[in-house]
Amino acid sequence: MSTEKEVVDFATVYLKGTNQGCYTDEKGIYHLKTTAGEYTLVVSAIGYQTVEKKVKLAKGERIKVNVTIAPAVKELGEVLVTTSGVGRVNQSAFNAVAIDAKKLHNSTQTLAGALTKVPGVKLRESGGVGADMQLYIDGFSGKHVKIFIDGIPQEGAGAAFDLNNVPINFADRIEVYKGVVPVGFGTDAIGGVVNM
> Under CATH, what is the fold of the domain 1-72?
Immunoglobulin-like (2.60.40)
The pLDDT of residue 54 is 95
The pLDDT of residue 88 is 52
Instruction: Label each residue of 2-17 as H, E or C.
Output: ECCCCCCCCCEEEECC
d(CA 105, CA 117): 15
The pLDDT of residue 2 is 63
The pLDDT of residue 160 is 45
One pLDDT digit (tens) per residue for the chain, 196 residues: 666 778 888 899 999 999 999 999 988 899 999 999 999 999 999 889 999 999 999 988 989 999 999 888 877 788 887 765 555 555 556 777 777 878 887 777 777 778 878 888 888 877 766 667 788 888 888 788 888 888 888 775 544 456 666 777 888 888 888 877 777 777 777 788 888 8
The pLDDT of residue 92 is 57
The pLDDT of residue 83 is 60
Q: Is the dihedral of CA 112, 117, 118, 119 positive or negative?
A: positive
115 in Cβ contact with 174 (< 8 Å): yes
Strands (E), 45-95: 51-57
- Write down the domain spans for the chain: 1-72, 85-195
The pLDDT of residue 158 is 47
The pLDDT of residue 161 is 57
Alpha-carbon dihedral 101, 122, 185, 143, rounded to 10 degrees = 140
Which CATH architecture does the domain made up of 85-195 adopt? Beta Complex (2.170)
d(CA 189, CA 139): 13
Cβ-based neighbour number of residue 181 at 10 Å? 22
